[in-house]
Amino acid sequence: IAGASASGSQPEPPPVVGNATLRDLQGLLNTTGKIYVYSSSHADKDYADAEACQYYIPEKKNDTYFLLHMNYSIPSKSKPQTVFAELRSQDQGRNPYMRERMKPGDRAYLDLFLMGYDGILGCGIFKFYFKGNPHCEVHVREHLVASYHDARDNVCRKYQKEICGDNVYTFYKP
């Protein structure tokens, strides 16, 4: 997950893709286990030699509010950091999304739009804007990450290819 450092003024949301629902977003996050950031399109450009979230552990506060306990890949972020995530449903032609903030009430936020979800493989494909550029990430539940790694034909990979092309870095290493 990208840090919630984007400003409150973001580009228009991406057009609706797939049939992801708020229930899908809740289903992905409703776990006590780790969720891995399996792959990302922004790793090489915006996070070269910098921090990148490798996984997070969601803590459900209610159906639409989660704390995401982030764990990073570099020593300066060796302590978990908490991001506050508000889940929002489709409105105004949007897919459901997570609005991430570093602190409750922060004006700065980052919206991650759920473009597709596969409950069997435990993966979700998100599109977001970082530094004004569109990017995507695939998030996968820990207990299914090896199965996802071996699966080649699924909604997350399809939308990742469609949305991000081949410019994707895979964080997960078996």
Contact 127, 116 (CB under 8 A): no
Name the stretches of the chain with pLDDT < 70.
1-18, 43-53, 73-79, 92-93
Fold category of 22-170 in CATH: Lipocalin (2.40.128)
The 10s digit of each residue's pLDDT in 136-171 is: 999 999 999 999 999 888 889 998 998 888 888 888
Vertex 126 angle, CA 28 and 70, to 5°: 65
What's the whole-model pTM score?
A: 0.84
Backbone angles phi, psi at 25, to 5 degrees: -65, -45
Domain range list for the chain: 22-170
